[in-house]
Every structure is written in structure tokens, then in C-alpha cells.
Structure 1
Amino acid sequence: MAKVSINLATGSIQKEEIIVGIDLGTTNSLVAFITPEQEPLIINDSGKGLLVPSVIHFSPSGEISVGNEAKEFLITDPENTIFSVKRLLGRSYKDIESHKDFFSYKVIDDDTESLVKVKVGDTFYTPIELSSLILKELKERAEHALKTPVNRAVITVPAYFNDSQRQATRDAGKLAGIDVLRIVNEPTAASLAYGIGLSANESKTIAVYDLGGGTFDVSILQIQNGIFEVLATNGNTYLGGDDFDRAILNYWIEQNKLDAAAVSANKELAQALRLKAEEAKIALTTQNLFNDTVNGIPCAITRQVFESLIADKVQETITCCKNALADAGLTTADIQEVIMVGGSTRTPFVKQSVSEFFKRPVHDQINPDQVVALGAAIQADILAGNRKDILLLDVTPLSLGIETMGGLMDVIIPRNAKVPTKAGRQYTTSVDGQVNLKVAVYQGERDLVKENRKLAEFELKGIPAMPAGLPKVDINFLLNADGILTVEALELRSGVKQQVEVKPTYGLTDNQVEQMLMDSITHAKDDVSQRMIIEAQTEASQMVYTVQRFLEKNASYLSEQEISHTRKLTDELKSLLQSTDKDAILKKTDELNDFTRPFAERLMDEAIGKAMKGKSI
């Protein structure tokens, strides 16, 4: 007997389960689907509103709330309320160090090359786990509103997200119990929402300007015969409306002669001022003056002052527009339409600046908060096979390559190459009798690999011993439609081969994600706990080893007191290595790391001092 699904919300018979479109945003997230009338619609679950604030709160009793309910705790419990987690996705502490004061919660610096962790109470979370909680909330809202299971989705990301950030987004989806069918660039989704009505014979070149809460990107697209082709992308994954709020906040601190460090230390006050700044920004879209107080602190600002405060940030976005046009080989005269996306484009000064740069009025008819999610739903509909008239061609935002002699970056797939794509180069050995070849994969635009982002490293082992220059090693890069990279190395003379899917150093492996997903489904919490304990023990033992080696080599640079305290902390951590208290291990690792971090900086200063005197380091 054939099974037939009936959507109770619409009464229609479904051939397939619904595939939703999800806009996982810095400030707000949304979920959309295609109605039986073939219209994209944002899902509004039981009057909770269309936007789901990307905020998570952890109560002392262990309850987790997401969205509207969590937002209420931003002021009353800032240390346990997580916001703007998208800014942490796929990032190391080094990436966000200069912005750490922005977060009212504790962002852990455990190792400059690994994924940041967030500490809530005595528990440590990765941004992937935190993002999965937001996605789970969206999934549950969609299921409740549509009265049908929702297990498959298209999720959007900024066009400028790198490989590790895309992988982290995909991992977060898996962890939330969602099969992520496609990762789509936000501007591409927005162009779908606007371009859906274009007639088949219409040809247009458009710019999509997307300024959200925490990210900015601009894409130049060619739309022709139902084909959406991204010609170029540019942007900044650390620029958005949050920065506008921060500019207002800093202005108030200055005007009231407050101590910035003291405000930052007072989490409740800092958060209250940040939210009041956001309120002021929104009010200034329709009025010329905002005047209020927070805890007796006057908070007044005019639109003119606000515009002067954000002028540099807006100019940065215009520079990105210039760069994208240059990459596409176009001028503003070639752009026929300009689409505005993201809540921050409501700011009149932003619209005016973009309109002046492109020398034409901008399009903002579709709600800028919703346009990406609506486009994602349309893309989901295409993947479900319901639309045959649209094809998406996307591009990779950053160049991909490998490290060659002298630490140089050898680009294999250049930025703005169409995806999916495959490219390769031939290499050889540099030492006689070399049997292993290290392949280090990088992403970025600089000539030196140290300036770029390292994505992965592996060794091609078992090359027959031959004189240098004789082996022929083909290295091929295959970039799929989601921007996920597979790297293959093949020694042609012997047939020795190795292939890896590049899992960025910041993401979880598929096995870890699958394990965590199974654990969450079967509630086998013991399994999850065990895995996390082992990870914490491994991390701690590496820390102990590193610190002990450092003391052996560099004790002369430290005082007796520093040495004895370091040994004390190291011994305390060693005593916990067999412990099953994951958070106690991580807490002590964090303490040891915090105490010893300045030592390395001091050593570097000494070395530089010697170099300046003409001595070698």
C-alpha cells in the first residue's frame, strides 16, 4: 500500500516531505517554505513572530531557551545569554581577539589555532553546538506550524564565508537533526527572491548589497534565461549593524565621560546600553533625534551625528562594491538593478550611499529581513524538483591552493571560480629519496601561506624512493556546490594515491557529528559525556606537555615565582588528567593557558630586541 503524506496545515497532499529554506542570521533567523500555491512564505509559529532572535539562554537549572524568550535575559543574565554566535562560527580565537569585548559571555582562548569555545557556568560549548540549538528551534517551529516532520533544508551563509565556516554551518544543521541539502550564498538566495518573476528572455546584471547584523557582502550577478550566475563576490564577515550599535554606544560613553573599561566590566550596564543603542539606530530610520536614558545615563543622539559615526563603516562597504565590480570586469554603468538585503539596509544613510555609488535607485520592496529566507525556500523547491526553469551557478569567494617551497601559496582554484569545479597541478619532490610528501591546503589571497587560512594538512605516504624531481605527483582539488573541498594526491609513476575531504581544523568530523546526532536522538547522554571527557583529557595532556617543554627551554626568562606558580598549575592539571569531570579539566586548562600566555609574548619581544641589535634570533 502506497503512503500518502497530507499537510494538515494546508490540507494538500504532498508527494514529498517539505524542504524548508533557513536563513541562519547573526541577529535573527528565519525559516520559510513554498505554499501549495507556489508562493514562498515565512513560517510564523503560533504568534511568536516571523523573526527568531539568534539568542540562546542557559538557566542555572540547565534549561535552554532560544529566540524571543532568550532575548529577555540579555540584560538580566548577560553572562549566560549567547548572541551573535554566527560571528564565532568556524573561527579561531585569533580571528575574534580584537572584538572580544563585544561579547558579554566568556569566549575561551584555549589554542590560537583551534575553534573558539564559549563558557557558560562551568560548561564549555562550541559555536557549532550553539548554532545547532537555533536551528533546532527553527525546525521545531516549522514542524509545529506545518504539522509535518521537517528533516531537510537549504541553509544560507554570507557569500564571503570561507570553507571552515560553511562546514561549521553544515555540521550545526546535522547536529540539529537536519539533512542540509545545500549551503547557498545569501545574495544568491536574495536574487532568487527578486528574480523569480523575470521573463525567460530577460537578461540583467544586478548587484546584491547585503548588510546584516554582523556580516556584509556584495555580489554581482548575471541573470539570463532563468540562470543565476554570480560573477563576483566581495565583503567583510565582521561588519554589520552590530558595529553601528557599537558606534552609538561608544559615543554615549564619550559624551558622558564614562570609563569604557568599567562599562565593559559591568555586564548588565554594557548590555543595557548596547540594546538602547540598537533602539536608537532603529528610531533614527524614521526620526531625526533619539533621546532616552539608561540607569540615569543620558542617551541622546541625532541622525546627523549617527551618520557621521558610521560613515567609515558604510564607506568600507562601498569599497567592497568597487572591488566586486573590478573582479567582475564591470563598471557601475553595467549594473541594471541594485537589491538591498539585511535589516541594516533600512538605515537611510546606507540606502543613500549605495544609491549614489551605483547612480540608480535601489530595490527594497521585499522585506530586507525576509528576502534571504524566501530565496532559500525557492532554492529548496528547485532541489525538490518542483521547478525546472531555474539553474544556479555560484562562485567560491576565496582562492584555494597549497603551500610550496619557501612558504608560498600556489593557487589551484582561484577566487570567483564557478562551483562545482575541479582543477589540478603537478608537483615533485625536493629531496633525494623522499618517500612522503606533505600537502598543506590553504585558502586566501596573499602570496605567503602564513597570511592565509590553513584548512587541512595530510601526507602522501609510500612514494618510491627516487632522486629529487623524478616523482610526478598530481594534486587535484574538487570543490562541490556547497563550497566543500576534496583534495586528491596521486603519484603517477607508482600509482600511490590519497584522497581527503578537507575538514577545516575548526569543524567537527562527520563521525563526531553523526555520533552527537545519534546521542541526541537516543538520549544516550553517557556516550556524549564520555567523548567530551576524552577530548578534554587529550587537550589537557597536550597543554601539560607544551608547558613542561617551555619551562625546560626558557626558564631563564621567567621569575622564580612565575616558575613555581606555573608548576603548581601544571601539577593541578596533571592530577585531573584521569578525571571524568570534563568542565573541571577545561577550567584548569584555561587557567594554565591564561597564566602562561604572556610568557610567549615576552619571549617574542626578547627575540625581536636581539634581532634589532643585529643578532640572529
Structure 2
Amino acid sequence: MGKVIGGADDWSGGKTTGSTNPERTIAAVKRLIGRAYNSTDVQKDIANLSYKVVSGPGDQAYVRVNDKDYSPSEISAFILQKMKQTAEDYLGEEVTEAVITVPAYFNDSQRQATKDAGKIAGLDVLRIINEPTAAALAYGLDKKKEELIAVFDLGGGTFDISILEIGDGVFEVKSTNGDTHLGGEDFDIRIIDYLAEEFKKENGIDLRKDKMALQRLKEAAEKAKHELSSSTETDINLPFITADASGPKHLNMKLSRSKFEQLADDLVQRCLEPCKKALKDADVTINDIHDVILVGGMTRMPKIQKIVEQFFGKSPHKGVNPDEVVSVGAAIQGGVLKGDVKDVLLLDVTPAVSGN
């Protein structure tokens, strides 16, 4: 979700306001949180963001809207405030505490910045837990016998793989690996670049140089990506995307699933190396893995499911919703901390990652 900042301070669906307010609609801020402005990853991201990113205190990446600078923690706090309000409306009482999940491969700086976001939102953050661990909690709460599972978590901005031993209320993380700069947004960019290049070939105009056109391309790319999870082809139709001396221009193209898979093949392959490392670090083989849990919207992509099945030699577990499983696990952890859920022991690891 995005929030339009500056002017009316009400929440609005960022996806619907993005094309009319591209410079004031903030999305994908998780990729900036706790990161240095001059880091390679942030510099790479800036080219694909409709809003302005600047160097803030301590060279941290900040977001500039209407000449005011916001830290990614402050932007994230807007989202947490909305979540707090939603929970309070549903429960009919005040919510003051939270368990927040982060990618397993977040470093200390990113974890602290996430905790800061909770504080700004008026929440007492009881625990920051790793997303794959939360997913394992949701999957394995009722498991009695010991088993090894792999949690394959490919979300909007990050990728994690964790190997856990679970059974009889004990959840022990054996290893974790990942890429904090690999996720759905990267897949979107492949579609955006393809559409922009094809349009440029035909019309001599680069749509990526126009913030409003770029935002419409982004929305269309994400929609096409979602549709290609269940269809083999999708139509992308953007009327009046731009204009030149001869009049308005329209973008109308077809994109097949096979073309999308070709465009994103290297991103799909990038998921495999962390999987190999996680198995090696846990000192286990593929044959030792009892189940593979898929987490994150990108795992709906058929090609991702296929490579997971090929790599692990078994079909991924289908019993959990990849979009909800982490939230359910965070709620269970909240229950453990408040004494409502008994006999659960969580043995997690914080990966030794450096850099920003």
C-alpha cells in the first residue's frame, strides 16, 4: 500500500493514487529502510522509483516529499499506524504492543530502523522476528514428531530461505540465507523495461523518463505479473500514455507467460544459490527436508513453484496461504509472549550479514 504524503493526510490506496500523484506516493520503502544512500542497491533502486530519494543524516536513504525529508522508518510508521487503527477498529479496544516480522537476512541497522518505525507509530515492539520463522510457527504449531522444513520466502522486495527443525512445540532455525534485494519489484521492473523498450522502438519515446507514465507502467506490470500466474497470456492496454506533435499515443501489447519467464529467468535462478548455502550451513541434504513452505506473493508464479519442486525434489506444501502465513506466525509469537500460547520454544538465529 502507498500513502500520499503532503496535502490531505488521509490514507488512500497507493495503487490508485500512484498514477495521479507519483512523486507523493511512496511504495517499496522496505528496500530503503536501514540502508545507506550511497549503497549500490539503493542507487540501483532510485532509477525505478517515482518519488525522490535523498541522502539523510549519517548518509541514510531518506524520502523527499514536498521539500520535506522523511526517514524510511517514518514512512513505515504511517503503515503501522494504519495497521494499528485497523486492528483497533476490529477489536474495539486500544492496541499498544506489536510483534513485527522482518526478512531473515535483514542486518542490525535494518532491524533497528524497523523497531524505530514501531515506536514512531506509538507501538511497544515486543519482538522483531524473522519472517520464515513466523511462517514455520504458523505451519508447525500442531506438529508432534520432529521434522526438517525449508521455508522459501520470496516477497515484494526480499528473498529468504531458512531451514528449521520443528516438533513438539520447539522451532529451531538451523540456517538462513537470502538476498535482501531480490523480490517482486525486480520482476515488475523486467516487464516495465520490456514494455518501455518495445514502445520506444515503435514511437521513439522513452516512457520511463515521464514519472506519470512510469507509474502507469508499474501498475500495469504488476497487474500483468499477477494475471500470468493463472493465465498464459495477458493484454496490457494503456490509452493516452503519452503524446507528441502528432497527437496522443497508446500502449497496447500482449505479454505471454513464456516471454515473462524468459525476461525474468536470471532472477528465478538467483533463488537457487542461497538455497544451496542454507542446506550446507545446516549440514543437511535435500533428502532430509520433509516439507517446503512457500511464503510471499511471488511464490504464486508457476516458474518459481517449478524450480522449488525441481531443486528440493518434492512439491511445495499447499496448506498455507503465502500472503497470510507470516502474519499468523507473528500473532502466535504475540500469544507466546503474553502467555496465551503455551509450550512453544523458538530458537532463532540472526544471520551474520554485513553491509548496508
Find the partner of 1:103 among 49, 52, 62: 49
**What is aligned with 2:268?**
314
**What is aligned with 1:10?**
none
Whole-Å separation in 2 of the counterparts to 1:219 and 1:80: 36
For the residue of structure 1 that corresponds to 2:172, the secondary structure is strand
Say if 2:217 is the partner of 1:273: yes
**Within-5 A mapping of 1:85-234:** 85-95=29-39, 96-109=42-55, 114-199=59-144, 202-234=145-177
Structure with greater contact order relative to length (CA < 8 Å, sep ≥ 6): 2
**What is aligned with 2:28?**
84
For structure 1, which segment, 212-221 or 298-307, has the greater mean C-alpha deviation from structure 2 after superposition?
298-307
Whole-Å separation in 1 of the counterparts to 2:213 and 2:63: 21
Find the partner of 2:178 among 220, 226, 235: 235
Whole-Å separation in 2 of the counterparts to 1:299 and 1:328: 46
Unmatched 5+ stretches in structure 2: 242-249
**What is aligned with 1:252?**
195
For the residue of structure 1 that corresponds to 2:307, the secondary structure is helix
Alignment deviations for residues 214-259 of structure 1 (CA, whole Å, 9 cap, x no partner): 1110100011331101111111111101111111111112223359
**Within-5 A mapping of 1:278-357:** 278-294=222-238, 295=241, 296-357=250-311
Say if 2:342 is the partner of 1:398: no
1:56/1:71 contact within 8 Å kept: no
Alignment deviations for residues 328-351 of structure 1 (CA, whole Å, 9 cap, x no partner): 111111111000000110001100
Alignment deviations for residues 173-209 of structure 1 (CA, whole Å, 9 cap, x no partner): 011010000000000000011101212xx01000000
The AA in structure 1 aligned to 2:105 is Y
The count of residues paired between Structure 1 and Structure 2 equals 343
User: 1:58 Cα shift?
Assistant: 1.7
2:96/2:122 contact within 8 Å kept: yes
The AA in structure 1 aligned to 2:218 is R
**Within-5 A mapping of 1:334-483:** 334-398=288-352, 444=354, 452=355
For the residue of structure 2 that corresponds to 1:367, the secondary structure is coil
Alignment deviations for residues 380-419 of structure 1 (CA, whole Å, 9 cap, x no partner): 00101112211001001115xxxxxxxxxxxxxxxxxxxx
2:151/2:292 contact within 8 Å kept: yes
1:206/1:221 contact within 8 Å kept: yes
The AA in structure 2 aligned to 1:89 is I
Whole-Å separation in 2 of the counterparts to 1:240 and 1:78: 21
1:101/1:264 contact within 8 Å kept: no
Unmatched 5+ stretches in structure 1: 1-52, 400-443, 445-451, 454-617
TM-score normalised over the length of structure 1: 0.54
Whole-Å separation in 1 of the counterparts to 2:170 and 2:282: 17
The AA in structure 2 aligned to 1:114 is D
**What is aligned with 1:609?**
none
**Within-5 A mapping of 1:521-600:** none
* Cα distance change, pair 173–132 in 1 and its aligned pair in 2 (3 A): same
The AA in structure 1 aligned to 2:45 is H
Whole-Å separation in 2 of the counterparts to 1:252 and 1:286: 21
Structure showing greater Rg? 1
